[in-house]
Every structure is written in C-alpha cells, then in structure tokens.
C-alpha cells in the first residue's frame, strides 16, 4: 500500500489494481501458464530435449497402439454425451410435474454423488467373471447363467469391452443432464405452451417448436460439459482395466506413456492434443450461451 499511496494521483488507481491482482496473476503463472508452456515445449522435443518438431504428434496418429486409443476416445465422445443427453432429456420430460417427481429425480441423480473410482468399483463387481461351472458373483454373469447362457468376460473382450466401460460414464452423467434440462424445461413460459396447445399442436410439435428452442442454451451446456468430461476420462479406464484389453483412451495413455513407459514427450504431446480438442468446445459453449442470453 505504500507504493499506491505515494504514487502519482493520475496513476494511483491503476497501481492499486495491479497490486491487488498481482498475487493472483503470479499464482496463475506459476500453477498453470508456466507448466502449460513447458508441456508444449516438451511435446515438440525428444526425451533428450532436442527439438523434433511434430514428430511426437506423427507418432500419436501413426502408431498402431495409439490408433486404438484414438478410436476408443472417439467412441466415448460420440456415445456418452449422446446417450446421457437423450436419456436425461427424455426422463426430465416424462416426469415433469408428475407425482413423486423429486424422488424419481433423486434416483437418477444419485450416481453423480459417487466418484468415478467408486462407480468403477461398483460396475466392476457387476461385470465380474468366473469360469463356467464356478459360482458367479457378478450380477450380469449370474443373469446370463440363469438364462442358460455362458458367462461372458465383459471387461476383457475387445471391442465390446469399451462400450461396457463407457456405460459407467453415461450412468453418472445422465443424472447431471436430467437435472439441468429439467430446470430449463420448467423455465419455459406456460403461456407459450398453452398458446401452442390451443393452436392444435401435438405434444411432439410443442416439444420441437416450443420447448426445444427455449432450452437450446441449456442443451448446449449439457452436451459440451459432458463431452469435455468424457475427453478427459481417466479414472474409469484406469480403475477397471488399467488401459489393457484395447480399452485405453487419451487421458489414460498420457499417464501411461509419461509415468509408466518413460516416454514423457509422447505424454506431453497427448496432453497438448487433449487441450486442442477441448478448447474449441469451450469457445463454442461460450458463443452459444452469449447468443442465447441476447435472444432472451
């Protein structure tokens, strides 16, 4: 404050602002900006620190193992946001203003209170496999046995094991989608819905022409938020398979390459790739929200 009090009157406000903001900027620079710059530099260098340009990124897209990782990540990003949003929206519409709405919502939202690791352990028990002839302790395999079928290795059998893993993420995120979209649906003006009903619009037409345009901003928030979370998914894959059986995704492979296989340059390149994939989604989210706010 001594510097601010003794500064010229004309620039005193600017100096005071800089003094208050400086600690936060220093922490931001030390905790985020500098590590990010180091990661970017490491992504274009070899393990020895020599500049190699885009070689590490070429490895990411040409290595057979990495191609499986990319394929899995694309499957996750397509399926999880789509399934979670559609099911969450449908559930929010069907139980809107129904009897026991709060209880029905809490049942679907409860998985959000569980950590990804906890959810992975729960579903790991669901998928547990034992050889045919032995008592099954996994619920799904026990159901298969009751139906006269052979037990199935849900987690170990590619490529379907990827779908069984991403079910865990979809199970968690559906509750988030349902709560956000339910709140948005309740914000639709009742007089607009009534006017559409008086004009003879069916329930489906009211949804397409009234409800959906009104909740578009919330819909974008839900899809982009779930997409970003899916791109960064690590805990589920790490807990259930450790990336084995062709189930690895970008975030898990980044950890594996950097800390298990001693390939920090590939890990850094994957981190940069992840940032590049997330950035346009965030920008799009901001632009849509701004346009939605101006429209309303």
Query: Which has the closest alpha carbon to 217: 262, 249, 185?
Result: 185
pLDDT higher than threshold 70 for residue 60: yes
Q: Give the least confident one: 93-97, 222-226, 245-249.
A: 93-97
Predicted confidence (pLDDT) at residue 18 exceeds the cutoff of 80: no
Whole-number pLDDT of residue 106: 86
Nearest 5°: phi and psi at 154? -60, -40
196-207 tens-digit pLDDT: 888 888 888 888
The stretch 84-110 carries a mean pLDDT of 87
Mean per-residue pLDDT for 40-46? 90
Q: How far apart are CA 33 and CA 28, in angstroms?
A: 6
- The answer to whether residue 11 scores a pLDDT higher than 70 is no
Q: Which tokens hold the place of 193?
A: 């819905």
Other C-beta atoms within 10 Å of 28: how many?
12
For the entire predicted model, the pTM comes to: 0.86
As given in the structure block, the two tokens for residue 249 are 């995704």
pLDDT average, residue stretch 33-44: 88
Task: Report which of residues 28 and 211 the model is more confident about.
Answer: 211
CATH no., domain 54-114+158-295 = 1.10.3720.10
Residue 177 pLDDT: 93
Per-residue pLDDT for 171 more than 90? yes
Question: Would residue 242 be called left, alpha or beta, if left means φ above 0 and alpha means ψ between -120 and 50 degrees?
Answer: left
Q: Which residue has the higher pLDDT, 5 or 239?
A: 239
Domain ranges in the chain are 1-43, 54-114+158-295
Question: Confidence band (pLDDT; 50, 70, 90) for 161?
Answer: very high
């Amino acid at each position: 404050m001594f510097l601010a009090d003794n500064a010229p009157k004309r620039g005193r406000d600017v100096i005071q602002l800089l003094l208050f903001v400086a600690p936060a900027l220093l922490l931001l620079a030390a905790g985020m900006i500098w590590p990010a710059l180091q990661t970017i530099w490491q992504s274009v260098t070899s393990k020895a620190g020599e500049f190699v340009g885009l070689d590490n990124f070429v490895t990411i897209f040409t290595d057979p193992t990495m191609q499986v990782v990319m394929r899995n990540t694309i499957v996750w990003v397509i399926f999880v946001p789509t399934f979670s949003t559609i099911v969450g929206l449908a559930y929010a519409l069907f139980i809107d203003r129904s009897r026991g709405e709060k209880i029905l919502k809490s049942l679907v939202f409860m998985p959000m209170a569980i950590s990804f690791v906890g959810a992975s352990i729960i579903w790991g028990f669901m998928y547990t496999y034992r050889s045919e002839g032995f008592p099954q302790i996994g619920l799904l395999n026990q159901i298969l046995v009751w139906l006269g079928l052979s037990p199935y290795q849900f987690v170990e059998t590619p490529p379907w094991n990827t779908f069984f893993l991403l079910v865990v993420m979809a199970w968690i995120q559906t509750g988030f989608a349902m709560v956000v979209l339910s709140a948005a649906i309740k914000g639709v003006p009742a007089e607009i819905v009534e006017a559409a009903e008086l004009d003879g619009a069916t329930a489906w037409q009211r949804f397409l022409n009234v409800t959906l345009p009104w909740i578009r901003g919330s819909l974008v928030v839900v899809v982009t938020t779930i997409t970003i979370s899916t791109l960064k998914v690590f805990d589920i894959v790490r807990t259930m398979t450790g990336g084995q059986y062709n189930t690895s995704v970008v975030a898990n492979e980044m950890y594996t390459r950097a800390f298990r296989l001693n390939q920090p340059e590939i890990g850094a390149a994957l981190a940069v790739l992840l940032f590049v994939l997330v950035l346009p989604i965030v920008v799009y989210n901001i632009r849509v929200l701004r346009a939605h706010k101006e429209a309303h």
